[in-house]
Chains A and B, each alone.
Chain A
Amino acid sequence: MRVGEIVTAGFLALLSLYLMWKSTELPIGYIAGRGPGGGAWPFWLSAIMLICCGCIAFNWWRGSNPAAQSDEPVLDSHGWRTLLLVGGGIVGFVALVNIISMYGAIAVFLFYYTFILGRHRLILSLSISLITPIALFFFFEGAMRITMPSGLPFTDPVFNILYDIIY
Chain B
Amino acid sequence: MKITKRMFMSIVGASLLAPAPMQALADGWTPRKPIDFVIMAGPGGGADQIARFVQSVAEKKDLTNRPLVPNNKGGGSGAEALIHVSNANDPDHTILVTLNSFFTTPLRQANLGIDVQKFTPIAMMGVDPFVLWVHKDSGITTMDEYVAKVKEMGGEYVMGGTGAGQEDSIVIAYMSDAYDLDIKYIPYDGGGAVAKDLAGQQIMATVNNPAEAKGFYEAGDFVPLLAFSDERMPAYPDVPTIKEMGHDFSYYNQRAVVGAPGMSDEAAAYYQDVFTQIYESDEWQGYLEAESLSPLWMNADEQRDYWALQVENHKTLLTALGE
Q: Which residues of A contact B (CB under 8 A)?
A: 138-139, 141-147, 150, 156, 159-160, 163-164, 166-167
Asked if B34 and A145 sit within 8 Å, CB to CB, the answer is yes
Nearest 7 CB-CB pairings of A with B: A143-B13, A142-B13, A147-B34, A145-B69, A163-B33, A160-B32, A145-B67
Nearest residue in A to B33 (C-beta to C-beta)?
Answer: A163
**A contact residues around B33 at 8 Å (CB):** 147, 150, 159-160, 163
**B contact residues around A166 at 8 Å (CB):** 13-15
Q: Which residues of B contact A (CB under 8 A)?
A: 11-15, 19-20, 32-34, 36, 65-67, 69
Chain A CB within 10 Å, residue with most, of B11, B13, B36: B13
Asked if B15 and A142 sit within 8 Å, CB to CB, the answer is yes
In the bound assembly, the distance between CA atoms of A143 and B12 in angstroms comes to 5
Asked if A167 and B36 sit within 8 Å, CB to CB, the answer is no
Asked if B66 and A167 sit within 8 Å, CB to CB, the answer is yes
Asked if A138 and B14 sit within 8 Å, CB to CB, the answer is yes
**A contact residues around B19 at 8 Å (CB):** 164, 167
In the bound assembly, the distance between CA atoms of A167 and B69 in angstroms comes to 13
Asked if B14 and A167 sit within 8 Å, CB to CB, the answer is no
Nearest residue in B to A143 (C-beta to C-beta)?
Answer: B13
In the bound assembly, the distance between CA atoms of A146 and B70 in angstroms comes to 9
Asked if A167 and B20 sit within 8 Å, CB to CB, the answer is yes
Asked if B13 and A147 sit within 8 Å, CB to CB, the answer is no
Specify which of A138, A143, A164 is in contact with B11 (CB 8 Å cutoff): A143
Asked if B69 and A139 sit within 8 Å, CB to CB, the answer is no
**A contact residues around B15 at 8 Å (CB):** 142, 166-167
In the bound assembly, the distance between CA atoms of A154 and B12 in angstroms comes to 29
Asked if B13 and A163 sit within 8 Å, CB to CB, the answer is no
Known: A138-B13, A142-B15, A167-B19. A147 touches B32 (CB 8 A): no
In the bound assembly, the distance between CA atoms of A167 and B10 in angstroms comes to 10
13 additional A-B residue pairs with CB within 8 Å, beyond A159-B32, A166-B13: A142-B13, A142-B14, A143-B11, A145-B67, A145-B69, A147-B34, A163-B32, A163-B33, A164-B19, A166-B14, A167-B15, A167-B34, A167-B67
- A–B pairs, 12, beta carbons within 8 Å: A141-B34, A142-B15, A145-B67, A146-B69, A147-B33, A147-B36, A147-B69, A160-B33, A163-B32, A163-B34, A166-B14, A167-B19
In the bound assembly, the distance between CA atoms of A166 and B20 in angstroms comes to 11
**A contact residues around B12 at 8 Å (CB):** 143
